[in-house]
């Protein structure tokens, strides 16, 4: 209401029906999580609604491996686990 966005405008921006918007407003589990996130993004409140992801979960660590080493691959072939 503060942003003066009508339900029809929000539905149009989200590419959903008004029935889906009403289900979202009621908290219906049938409304997908993506629809909720899209609404928060469109309304400009996603930063207030979701916590900041810890840096350790998204930053590149110099010690992380994307690909298994030859030794690790040989261990998998022999059903050995490290």
How many whole angstroms separate alpha carbon 9 and alpha carbon 2? Answer: 14
pLDDT of residue 12: 94
Choose the weakest-confidence range: 5-9, 14-18, 69-73, 76-80: 76-80
Distance of CA 50 to the CA centre of its chain: 10
> What is residue 70's predicted lDDT score, i.e. its pLDDT?
82
Mean pLDDT across the stretch 65-70? 73
Distances, alpha carbon 27 to alpha carbons 3, 30, 35, in Å: 21, 9, 12
Tell me how far apart the alpha carbons of residues 73 and 53 are, in angstroms, rounded to a whole number. 32
When pLDDT is cut at 50, 70 and 90, the band that residue 64 belongs to is low
In 10 A of CB 39, how many CB atoms?
A: 21
**Is 37 a residue whose pLDDT tops 80?**
yes
Q: Stretch 54-62: mean pLDDT, rounded? A: 70
């Amino acid at each position: 209401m503060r942003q003066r966005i009508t339900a029809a405008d929000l539905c149009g921006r989200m590419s959903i029906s008004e029935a889906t918007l009403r289900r979202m407003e009621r908290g219906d589990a049938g409304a997908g999580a993506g629809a909720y996130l899209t609404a928060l993004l469109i309304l400009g409140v996603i930063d207030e609604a979701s916590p900041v992801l810890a840096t350790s979960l998204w930053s590149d660590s110099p010690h992380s491996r994307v690909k298994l080493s030859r030794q690790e691959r040989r261990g998998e072939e022999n059903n050995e686990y490290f």
